[in-house]
Structure 1
Amino acid sequence: MKKIQLQVNEFCLQAVLYDTPAGQAIWDSLPISAKGNLWGDEIYFSIDARVKMENGREVVEEGDLGFWPPGSAFCIFYGLTPVSSPGEIRPASPVEVVGKIIGDYKVLKQVKSTPKVTITPSE
């Protein structure tokens, strides 16, 4: 696994990218800076990475990092989305899970406006 740092507004989170082709494609595109969008308890933003969907998942877990092919978007999941059912987190459509936040992702629930996101390699 490759360690990354997510800076979302004033919050700094540690995460990992999985050793998969999708995780490697995102690693190769670092650093990434973007203005994110909120969709329930998900932050997403377009990135310039060639990621193939290999294991699309319709349900994800809190703290998962995903890639959403229709929008070429990196997704940070930290709670329910508008299409979630009780007890499950559902993306708009299947995503490739590429990594996981390590630590307290729930601080992201404090983000209320267009977040500024930076993703960099971490040691």
Structure 2
Amino acid sequence: MRIRILWPAGHTTATLRRTPTSEALWAALPITSSANTWGEEVYFGTPVAASVEEDAAQVVEPGTVAFWTEGDSLALPYGPTPVSRGGECRLASPCNLLGALDGDPAVLRTVRPGDVIRVERA
């Protein structure tokens, strides 16, 4: 499953693996939301609610597509967050792992708080 993520200054694509949460997200697409940033992470609300999956993780690679169950949000880290230790990508809490961005995650640096974000099937 491939998705496209668009915002006023850019866009990227991601490949999702098949998980209960990614399938629920896929079924809800397209969605539009408002961007938030937290350190070097972009996150935004979705209409999807999910439980924490078995392989949920808090420390992930840059460009991971994660789902923050506590906020029903997609989380897209591209570098350190306020809770990171060193240069790691540490999410606020363990998140479901949905997949990864296809290109350089640094493109997310152009997302500004309040930007309209659209996620659609690619």
TM-score (norm 2): 0.92
1:60 is the counterpart of 2:60 = yes
Alignment of 1:21-40 (within 5 A): 21-40=20-39
The code of the aligned residue for 2:36 comes to N
CA distance in 1, matches of 2:16, 2:113: 26
Secondary structure at the residue paired with 1:95?
strand
Match of 1:107 in 2: 107
Match of 2:91 in 1: 91
CA distance in 1, matches of 2:82, 2:110: 17
Residue 18 (structure 1) shift? 1.1
Match of 1:41 in 2: 40
CA distance in 1, matches of 2:35, 2:113: 9
Unpaired runs of at least 5, structure 2:
none
Secondary structure at the residue paired with 1:118?
strand
Secondary structure at the residue paired with 1:92?
strand
CA distance in 2, matches of 1:60, 1:98: 12
The code of the aligned residue for 1:3 comes to R
Contact 1:17 1:27 in 2 (8 A): no
Unpaired runs of at least 5, structure 1:
none
CA distance in 2, matches of 1:118, 1:8: 7
Contact 1:15 1:101 in 2 (8 A): yes
CA distance in 2, matches of 1:113, 1:93: 21
1:18 is the counterpart of 2:32 = no
Secondary structure at the residue paired with 1:51?
coil
Residue 9 (structure 1) shift? 2.1
Contact 1:26 1:51 in 2 (8 A): no
CA distance in 2, matches of 1:50, 1:72: 5
RMSD: 1.3
CA distance in 1, matches of 2:42, 2:100: 14
Contact 2:16 2:98 in 1 (8 A): yes
